[in-house]
A and B are shown apart, each in its own frame.
Chain A
Amino acid sequence: MRRALAILIGLAVVVGAAGYVAANHEIVIGMQCDRTGATQTVGVNLCPGYHDYIKLVNSKGGIEGHKIKAIEIDHEYKVPQGMESYERHKKEGAVLIGIYGTPHTYALMAKLVEDRIPGTSPGFGSAAAADGQRYPYLFPIAATYWSQGAAAVKFAKDQLGGNLKGKKIAYLFYDNPAGREPIDVFEDIAAREGFQLRTFAVPPPGVEMGAQVLDIAQRYRADFLIAHLFGRSPSVSIKELKRVGFPLRKVVSFVWGAAEADIEAAGGWSVAEGYNAMQFAGVGSNYPVLDEIRAMYKKEGQEPPKEMNSTVYYNRGVLQAAIHLEAIRNAVKDKKSGNITGEDVRKGFEKISGFTLGGLVPPLKITPTDHEGGGLVQIFTVKGGKFVKSTEWFSAYNDIVAKHIKESGKK
């Protein structure tokens, strides 16, 4: 046993050393993933999307002739393993880290600055990270929970006839820091629009919410419901809302309760008819980039991967990869040798503007002060067995969100 272990460790050291030498020839991205931990339903579809886009770009010759190598490490959504994966990525020469997980984003905030490597946290992490002055190396690159909250209220306003005065809005959320993050923003908007807001917390693990849903539907009689749930709980919420007869067309969910898997777990598409889901990447298969990926597989004589059917998370993986590569492309433009550093990639991020990938990516505009890129989302509605686009890319109440970002920067 000990001998076997010794051999394993020896091999590991050799392989690690070999990877270090090879890193000079290609641009390395460190990618964290969770295929086995608390959020594995996301990872199993998101990470293949990420790799497929990288593969597509490499098959077309890479970026200005430089190949991209994305090293994926699964951290099981555990922080110590996330730290280990970061150090490993750094050792392999990564110029960019695709962080995965809110606690991991917090844990890496200080390190990224010290090592001058940019990291991205699309759809999780801290909303305050949109402030590029305060967190120069952290890029949310997608709508934060504050922007999502503001957009959700705007959507409710449009659905309720353009006026929220005297209306009752319920906020059903998973009782953790991420769940409570947008409440302050809601309260500010409520004061401006004159609607009534009541919050309903769902304690972890978030599979018991019968009482809250009944309260929303029959005692509080909400005019609109904004839901912010994770993991198994979005599907439970759909089931419970259906059971008490709350109309699902008056529900809008944040981005982590918005996948095909959630609808299927709730009992299928017919059950969830009318449910509105917020997205920071386009949903569905009708995007040119997805056609290209399918064509790439066809040329290799393979079937497209089954993960492509879970378009919500797969497309988010593609979005993440596309924005990463766009930042690297901007960096390589200035340094044709391809010998770029994390600092170059950071500047590359801050030049991203008007990059849409045929509609799959919102028209972000990332600047040295705004690392979120505008906080754009789309709403998709369950209609006839699939997600149908209900709105174009939009953001709302930008002044209120900006005020909160500024305030948190002072702390």
Chain B
Amino acid sequence: MLKTTYEADMALYPLPIARWTVAAIAVLFFVVLPLVLHEYYLSIINLVSIACIGALGLNILVGYTGQISVGHGAFMSVGAYTAANFAVRMGAPWPVNLIAGGLMAALVGAIVGIPSLRIKGLYLAIATLAGQLIIEWTINHVTFISGGVQASIEVPRPEIFGFRIASQTEMYFFLLGFVVLAVVGTMNLVRSRIGRAFVAIRDQDIAAEIIGINIFRYKLLAFAISSFYAGITGVLYTYYLGVANYEQFQINVSIDYLAMIIIGGLGSVLGSIFGAIFVTLLPIVIRLSMESFGGYLFSDAAILNIIPNMRLILFGGLIIIFLVAEPEGLNRLWRNIRSYFRVWPFAY
């Protein structure tokens, strides 16, 4: 299929079949899966959904704009505590809290991003690490924000027109709606003027400045947008758990999200989703399969010790194998497979 205009090249649906694929995926996720799957599996998808939104946000910053950030977990906590304070102190409804959490995280993110105007790469990573630690410390010590020494604020369940969203199935639809918004939002963002500016900065920031991109504005914008996603993730996570707790947003969370986008593929929407699925699902799948096989080889007491350790080893091993097989991540792997089958059985 030949594309003759820029519009056609940038279209959301590159091929006519894509429209049908999207429709099929929508039916699968909104109708088929909730009817077929046990609530337990929906609860796993819920965790993936939350991770997806966070990973998309981080990918905008790291993958598209090329600014490394190790502060994603902290930005999530900013959103979470803002929303929790709004909910508890003012009794505000969840959409208000959600937006407030996102905006506050965006503001804090933009401030933490200021060093990016002078430093790049690993140096920036360390600067954002400082941001993570400072935010952690602040939430830990300022009881006005954290709501007491326990640094936990319980929030009521979200309600839509009086309908209380509490069970995993109800949460599933709630969160899936936001995943759709985040995916469509990111896809549109990266093909807009802003997205192209981000990519220009990533590829060569001096050249980008010469062709008239305001580096100052776009770098901070990238931090703000990315942190907005993180804030939204934090708020959704808070509503999912029913509590904002400081220990849920520590440095290891930031690292997990970085792992997601690196494994999934930097600078791609689909890669963020693959990464979120991979990192969230793999430990669970490994454990479930080991529980079924392990009994043949080891005693009961030994297996309980072996499973968690083997899971860590396999998790690390599989990440290495996938990255060696395709350094550009699962997204590239997927594209290779797809383009192979698109012309199949004719290799050329």
Contacts and interface: CB of A to CB of B under 8 A. Distances in A.
Interface of A: 5, 8-9, 11-12, 14-16, 20, 33, 35-36, 44, 47-48, 51, 72-74, 76, 78-81, 83-84, 87-88, 90-91, 102-103, 106-107, 109-111, 114, 126, 128, 175-177, 180-181, 183-184, 305, 408, 411
Given A36-B309, A48-B301, A176 B243 contact: no
Given A15-B291, A35-B308, A44-B305, A84 B44 contact: yes
Name the residue among B38, B242, B285, B308 with the largest chain A CB count within 10 angstroms. Answer: B308
B151 A177 contact: yes
Interface in B138-186: 140, 146, 148-152, 154, 157, 166-168
Given A109-B242, A305-B301, A83 B248 contact: no
22 contacts: A12-B288, A12-B292, A35-B308, A36-B311, A48-B304, A73-B287, A74-B287, A79-B247, A79-B248, A80-B47, A80-B51, A83-B47, A87-B40, A87-B43, A88-B40, A103-B248, A106-B247, A114-B167, A177-B146, A177-B246, A181-B150, A184-B149
Contact of B154 (A51, A103, A109): A109
Contact of A175 (B140, B248, B304): B140
Contacts of A103: 245, 247-248
B289 interface: yes
A11 B289 contact: yes
B242 A110 contact: yes
Q: Name, among B50, B140, B154, B293, the residue most crowded by chain A CB atoms within 10 Å (CB to CB).
A: B140
A109 B243 contact: yes
A188 to B, nearest CB: 14
Interface string B277-315: 000100111011101110000001100110111011000
Contacts of B308: 33, 35-36, 74, 76
B35 interface: no
B63 to A, nearest CB: 22
A15 B154 contact: no
A325 to B, nearest CB: 18
Given A11-B293, A74-B311, 9 more contacts: A74-B287, A84-B44, A90-B40, A110-B154, A126-B150, A177-B150, A177-B152, A184-B149, A408-B148
Contacts, number: 124
B134 interface: no
Contacts of B168: 87
A374 B305 CA distance: 34
Interface string B25-39: 000000000000011
A5 B289 CA distance: 10
A111 B242 contact: yes
Contacts of B288: 8, 11-12, 15-16
Those 8 A-B pairs whose CB atoms lie nearest each other, nearest first: A110-B242, A74-B308, A12-B288, A103-B247, A87-B43, A91-B40, A15-B292, A177-B151
The dominant DSSP class at the A interface is helix
Contact of A177 (B50, B140, B284, B307): B140
Interface in B214-265: 241-243, 245-248, 252
A8 B168 CA distance: 24
A16 B40 contact: yes
Contacts of B154: 109-110
Contacts of B51: 80
Contacts of B289: 8, 11-12
Contact of B149 (A20, A48, A180): A180
Contacts of B50: 80
Contact of A35 (B152, B243, B309): B309
Nearest to B46: A83
A88 B42 CA distance: 11
Nearest to A177: B151
A51 B301 contact: yes
A105 to B, nearest CB: 9
B243 A107 contact: yes
Interface string B295-337: 0000011001101110110000000000000000000000000
Given A73-B287, A91-B38, A110-B157, A51 B47 contact: no
Contacts of B247: 79, 102-103, 106, 176-177
B312 A36 contact: yes
B137 to A, nearest CB: 8
B245 A84 contact: no
Contacts of B280: 80
A47 B304 CA distance: 9
A161 B305 CA distance: 47
A49 to B, nearest CB: 11
Contacts of B248: 79, 103, 106-107
A230 to B, nearest CB: 12
A36 B247 CA distance: 18
A117 to B, nearest CB: 14
Contacts of B292: 11-12, 14-15
B200 to A, nearest CB: 35
B247 to A, nearest CB: 4
A134 to B, nearest CB: 10
